[in-house]
Amino acid sequence: MAHAATRWTQVLPFVLLGLRSVIKEDINATATEMVYGTTIRLPIDFFQDTGTNNVSEFVQQLKQTMHNLKPIPTSSHGRKTVFLHSELSQCTHVFLRHDAIRKRLQPP
């Protein structure tokens, strides 16, 4: 395999993109030019070159950007509050509901 991915389905979109964007020498066009009449936009076209050739300058900018990131407070969806009625302590009888999964042929 030419790719380091463990599953071929992870790299399939990139392989197909490569097949559609490569110029066929016999027709001097790509498959997308033949189908759509125009070239396909590759993922590299969505990014702008910042012109940062100095690696140490890039690392300093990256460190500053990561330092300025602030964590977002998380929510606790797993915590459920239990409702207890105030008159529950004076009750003589209480119905307890047990919602456990029963085994096969186990009586309710």
**Binned average pLDDT, 10 residues per bin, the chain of 108 residues:** 68 82 85 83 70 77 87 77 86 85 83
Q: Which pLDDT belongs to residue 1? A: 46
Question: Do residues 59 and 53 lie in contact, with contact meaning Cβ atoms separated by under 8 Å?
Answer: no
Q: Which pLDDT belongs to residue 46? A: 67
Phi/psi for 88 (5° steps) reads -65, -30
Give the helix/strand (H/E) hosting 33: helix 31-36
Q: Which pLDDT belongs to residue 50? A: 65
